[in-house]
Homo-oligomer: A and B are copies of this chain.
Amino acid sequence: MKSIDKHNKIILSATKVFAKKGFFNARISDIAKEAKVADGTIYLYFNNKFDILISVLEEEIGKIIEQIKRAIENEPDAKTMLEIFVTKHLSAMKNNKHLAEVIHMELRQSDRLVKEYRNNTFRSYINLISEIIQRGQEQKIFRQDIAPGIAKRAFFGALDEVTRVWTDANVTHYTLEETTEQILALFRSGLLASPAAGKN
């Protein structure tokens, strides 16, 4: 019986290798070696190289999405929801740097299948943000003149770019807590010093 353990071991190895080399530079034999299995064994668990990438995105991101969704769903306050979202997203990326790197790289690929994936599963993740914003607007906590459809992208883009430095070998000057706090401060209240803030 094909072991789920081996499946996971390959997924994790692939994540690591994709993160280090990128999808196209990663060789199947790299992943196999990392997972300590034979090249052919990979194909007992995945259809092809691309299938491995999609599986990484599906399964690993899927876990995070589920986790965040659950953490948010019973929260009544939009402001707190946003806080939870940022905290969870950033800590998930911090704790899983390989996955973060893969998301950075591969989600931008122009490949048809990647786009398809992005347009299906991933969309729901980004839409979590716009749902939170809409909720906040209904609660009169968030400004009515912000378009959730644009803000959700700006928000995700900001989060994603902010985590990129974590994946570089470079030392980063900011801690997870600082970054979380900064992102929240920025998106809650903007750059402008009050009292001009509300007037825009």
Residues of A within 8 A of B (CB): 19-25, 79, 82, 101, 104-105, 108-111, 115, 133, 136, 140-147, 149-151, 153-162, 164-165, 168, 173-174, 178-179, 182-183, 185-200
Contact of A183 among B154, B173, B189, B192 (CB under 8 A): B154
| In the complex, residue of chain B having the shortest beta-carbon distance to the beta carbon of A22 | B110
> Given that A24-B24, A154-B183 are known contacts, is A136 also in contact with B191, CB under 8 Å in the complex?
yes
| In the complex, residue of chain B having the shortest beta-carbon distance to the beta carbon of A185 | B200
Could you say how many copies of this chain the assembly holds?
Answer: 4
Measured between C-beta atoms, what is the minimum distance from A152 to chain B in Å?
9
| In the complex, residue of chain B having the shortest beta-carbon distance to the beta carbon of A114 | B22
Measured between C-beta atoms, what is the minimum distance from A163 to chain B in Å?
9
List, sorted by A's number, 6 A–B pairs whose CB atoms are closer than 8 Å: A105-B109, A105-B110, A136-B191, A149-B173, A189-B189, A189-B199
> Given that A153-B158, A197-B194 are known contacts, is A186 also in contact with B101, CB under 8 Å in the complex?
no
- A101 CA to B108 CA, complexed, in Å: 9
Measured between C-beta atoms, what is the minimum distance from A96 to chain B in Å?
16
Does B158 lie within 8 Å of A191, measured CB to CB?
no
Q: Which residues of B contact A23 (CB under 8 A)?
A: 24
Measured between C-beta atoms, what is the minimum distance from A172 to chain B in Å?
9
Does A151 lie within 8 Å of B182, measured CB to CB?
yes
Contact of A182 among B104, B150, B187, B192 (CB under 8 A): B150
Q: Which residues of B contact A20 (CB under 8 A)?
A: 110
Does A146 lie within 8 Å of B110, measured CB to CB?
no
